[in-house]
Amino acid sequence: MTKTQALMLSVALMVLVGCATSQPIDTQTSDSVITSKIEAKLAADPETNYFGVDVDTLNGQVFLRGFVDGEASRHEAEHLARATEGVRGVDNQLRIGDRTTARNLADRWLVTKVKSKLVADPEVSAFDIDVDAIDGQVILSGVVPEAGTRQEAERIAKATDGVKSVRNEIRVR
């Protein structure tokens, strides 16, 4: 491979990676860093059940979803998130209770099915959309370039076998 071909390949890869989401690269990095910092804090904290908490960040807004053991754990997870640099707000959707292994697996399977359908649809950029599921309710979040993409993602999720309901939190840029 010549230097020119290598350079062209590098540029093409950068363009593809840059086009993987509709968010600016600095926002993607910032949100990823915030999510990673919060996940690390939760993993190190004895008050929270890290494995039951899903953390998503969108433009500095943190979403906490999943299950914790009690109100103290729920409060501690929110406190740790709010105390993280770059966090603009926290939407604490954590529930108190114990998830059965069967319910946890069923929700993970729903997420896998919905994500697979999003990836297969040419109208939807699956990289822009995060999918979570809690007790059969699918939560869609992220930022997409058009309202039609938002609607198509919701339609796909609703049409997926096993989905009880869909909460569409996708924002249009």
Using the predicted structure, report yes or no on whether residue 84 has a pLDDT greater than 80. Answer: yes
Establish if 1 belongs to a structural domain.
no
Establish if 131 belongs to a structural domain.
yes
Establish if 8 belongs to a structural domain.
no
What CATH code is carried by the domain that includes residue 142?
A: 3.30.1340.30
Look at strands 165-172 and 137-144 and give their pairing: parallel
Same-domain pairing of 89 and 138: no
Domain tally, the chain:
2
Task: Kindly report, residue by residue over 156-169, the tens digit of the pLDDT.
Answer: 999 999 999 999 99
| pTM, full prediction | 0.66
pLDDT of 20: 42
- End-of-domain residue from the set 81, 96, 111: 96
Of the candidate ranges 25-34, 65-74, 95-104, the one whose mean pLDDT is the lowest: 25-34
Average pLDDT over residues 57-65: 92
For residue 159, the enclosing domain spans 101-172
Say how far apart CA 8 and CA 65 lie, in whole Å: 42
Q: Which residue has better confidence, 103 or 38? A: 38
